[in-house]
Structure 1
Amino acid sequence: MSVRLDKVQATYNGNIESVITNVDLKNGAVITIGGLVDGHREAVIGATPTDVAIDMPLLVASPEIVYDSNKHNIHDFINVKGKPLRAYYYTLGDTVTVTDDMIDGTSVKNQYLIPVNGSSKLKAVADLSDNTRYAFKVLEKVKLYGEPATRYKVAKV
């Protein structure tokens, strides 16, 4: 539903992608990059991860602009397919907060979140396997816009 960039290096050094997908996505989703979009100078194709052992995950986090507050609120924000969205590369030490609807399973403090094939959500796991390439450590359970949320830190990239 929503995301907060607590401490993300890309917000300072500009390591951000303009991405176009063929599906609607919520902020806080995890995607990978396919290639350049035809007819766009810098936009890349965003896709659901298919090989998390190789594909670098990016965090979807576009500005949550709601144009008509009588019809929608911040919880209704969606990145519309076919339109550019903003995605951030993860850097070791980055901290991010996402609402729990963007996590598959139940996140637990001091456990982990990992990307999985075929999903734009991170999956909650108790421990990491030796071949886990990307991992995020759960720092705390919080609220974001009144919704249950998880604050996590990039632990392995």
Structure 2
Amino acid sequence: MAVIRLDKITGGHLESIRHTAVMTNGLFVQLGDLVDGETELYQVAIPQTDADLEKEFLLHSTPEVMADPRQAGLKHFVVGAGDEGRGYHLVKGDVITLTNDLIEGTPVVGQFAVPQTGSLKLETSADGKGGSTGTVAVSLVLEVVRKTTLGYDGTDAYQLRVVKA
């Protein structure tokens, strides 16, 4: 399903990204190497170790333009494998809303969501720390502000505020 709303994003710093797999909006990526022959297009990197969680994360949110009207609608939008997408550098105070399928675990208002190893989705965290031991001071921490809904079918979603970036 994967629907995202950019409630309050500074959006001043964008990156062009490419992944070898299909991507939905609302994933959190790291910049890998520049694509061969490009000067501003980066490969998507997925954090593999706890140390990777201390590096910067970008929010993937590409404008939802669908050429096929049969697939129109936010819940059908994906960026194809090898296609270019848009990554936002987040700053403290940015606010986004994500459907619950973009967060591992059940978010609790007043607690946090943080990046995790081996995945581009966030995971829940009671104290804003993550990693295999649950004690890593990750580079990106989002506070769960409220539960809401997104999409025409009212899918469960959570509004998140960046408290550390």
Tell me the TM-score normalized by structure 2.
0.87
- Percent identity between matched residues is 32
Higher mean alpha-carbon deviation, 59-68 vs 111-120, is at: 59-68
SS at 1:143 equivalent? strand
SS at 1:25 equivalent? coil
Q: Distance in 1 between matches of 2:159 and 2:71?
A: 29
Q: Are residue 77 (structure 1) and residue 77 (structure 2) matched?
A: yes
Task: Give the count of matched residue pairs.
Answer: 154
For 1:23-75, what per-residue CA distance to the aligned partner results, in whole angstroms no more than 9, with x for missing partners?
Answer: 11110001100121112231111122224433211101001112222344321
TM alignment of 1:53-72, pairs within 5 A: 53-72=53-72
TM alignment of 1:29-44, pairs within 5 A: 29-44=27-42
Superposed displacement of residue 123, structure 1: 0.2
Match of 2:90 in 1: 90
Q: Are residue 8 (structure 1) and residue 13 (structure 2) matched?
A: no
Structure 2 counterpart of 1:140, one-letter code:
R
Superposed displacement of residue 9, structure 1: 1.1
Structure 2 counterpart of 1:48, one-letter code:
I
Q: Distance in 1 between matches of 2:52 and 2:158?
A: 21
TM alignment of 1:16-35, pairs within 5 A: 16-35=14-33
Q: Distance in 1 between matches of 2:53 and 2:73?
A: 37
Q: Distance in 1 between matches of 2:128 and 2:39?
A: 39
Structure 1 counterpart of 2:146, one-letter code:
E
SS at 1:70 equivalent? helix
Match of 1:149 in 2: 157
Task: Report runs of 4+ in structure 1 exceeding 4 Å deviation.
Answer: none
SS at 1:53 equivalent? helix
Structure 1: segments with no counterpart, 5+ residues: none
Structure 2: segments with no counterpart, 5+ residues: 130-134
Aligned CA RMSD, in angstroms, stands at 1.5
For 1:6-25, what per-residue CA distance to the aligned partner results, in whole angstroms no more than 9, with x for missing partners?
Answer: 11112xx2x00000111111
SS at 2:75 equivalent? helix
Name the CA shift for 1:71/1:17 in 2 (closer, same or farther; >3 Å): closer
Higher mean alpha-carbon deviation, 123-132 vs 103-112, is at: 123-132
Q: Distance in 1 between matches of 2:92 and 2:25?
A: 20
SS at 2:120 equivalent? coil
Query: Does the Cα contact within 8 Å between 1:62 and 1:86 map onto a contact in 2?
Result: yes
